[in-house]
Amino acid sequence: MKFSFFKKTLSSMPAINYPLELEELIKWANLHYLPKKIFPRDKAELLALETLEFSDLPITELPEYLYCLPHLTKLSLNHTQLIEIPDSLGQLTQLRELDLSFVHLYELPDCIGNLSNLNILLLAFNELSELPNFFKHFKQLKKLSLFNNQLSEFPEVIQYLTELTELGLSGNNLVNLPEFIGELTQLTRLSLFNNQIEHLPHSLIKLQQLRELGLGGNQLRIIPEQIGLLSKLNKLSLSNNQLQNLPYTIGQLSQLEELSLAGNQFSDLPESINELMSLKKLSLSSNRLTQLPNSFKKLTHLTELWLSSNRLKQIPEFIAELPYITELGLGGNRIKHVPEFIGQLTQLTKLSLSGNQLKTIPGCIGELINLEELWLNDNQLTEIPEFISNLKNLTKLHLENNKLTEIPYFINELPKLTHLEFYNNKTNFVPEFTANPRI
Spatial separation of the C-alpha atoms in residues 311 and 35, rounded to whole Å: 57
pLDDT at 2: 44
DSSP label at 65?
T
- 248-251's contacts with Cβ under 8 Å and 24+ in sequence apart are 248/272, 249/225, 250/223, 250/276, 251/275, 251/276
Spatial separation of the C-alpha atoms in residues 51 and 53, rounded to whole Å: 6
Q: What is the pLDDT along the chain (439 residues), one digit of tens a residue?
A: 444 443 444 444 455 777 888 999 999 999 999 999 999 999 999 999 999 999 999 899 999 899 999 999 999 999 999 988 999 999 999 999 999 999 999 999 999 999 999 999 999 999 999 999 999 999 999 999 999 999 999 999 999 999 999 999 999 999 999 999 999 999 999 999 999 999 999 999 999 999 999 999 999 999 999 999 999 999 999 999 999 999 999 999 999 999 999 999 999 999 999 999 999 999 999 999 999 999 999 999 999 999 999 999 999 999 999 999 999 999 999 999 999 999 999 999 999 999 999 999 989 999 999 999 999 999 999 999 999 999 999 999 999 999 999 888 889 889 999 999 999 999 866 665 554 555 5
Residue 125 Rama label (left phi>0; alpha psi -120 to 50; beta): left
pLDDT at 371: 98
Which amino acid is it at 60?
A: T
The per-residue DSSP string of 118-173 comes to -SEEE--SS------GGGGG-TT--EEE--SS---S--GGGGG-TT-SEEE-TTS-
DSSP label at 23?
H
Q: pTM of the predicted model, to two decimals?
A: 0.91
| Nearest Cα residue to 158 out of 127, 173, 176, 137 | 137
Query: Is the distance from CB of 230 to CB of 209 less than 8 angstroms?
Result: no
pLDDT tens per residue across span 259-296: 999 999 999 999 999 999 999 999 999 999 999 999 99
Mean pLDDT of the chain: 93
Specify the 3-state DSSP secondary structure of 346: coil
| Nearest Cα residue to 96 out of 78, 71, 77 | 71
The per-residue DSSP string of 84-131 comes to ---GGGGG-TT-SEEE-TTS--SS--GGGGG-TT-SEEE--SS-----
Residues 6+ apart with CB under 8 A from 14: none
What's the gap between Cα 189 and its chain centre? 13
DSSP label at 14?
P
pLDDT at 431: 62
| Residue 190 β-bridge partners | 167, 213
Surface-to-core class of residue 70, CB atoms within 10 Å of its CB (0-12 exposed, 13-18 middle, 19+ buried): exposed
Query: Is the distance from CB of 305 to CB of 322 less than 8 angstroms?
Result: yes
What's the gap between Cα 429 and its chain centre? 42
| Nearest Cα residue to 175 out of 218, 217, 236 | 218
The Cα diameter of the chain in Å comes to 97
Q: Which element (helix H / strand E) includes 49?
A: none
What's the gap between Cα 262 and its chain centre? 16
Query: Is the distance from CB of 242 to CB of 265 less than 8 angstroms?
Result: yes
- Strands 51-53, 166-168: pairing is unpaired
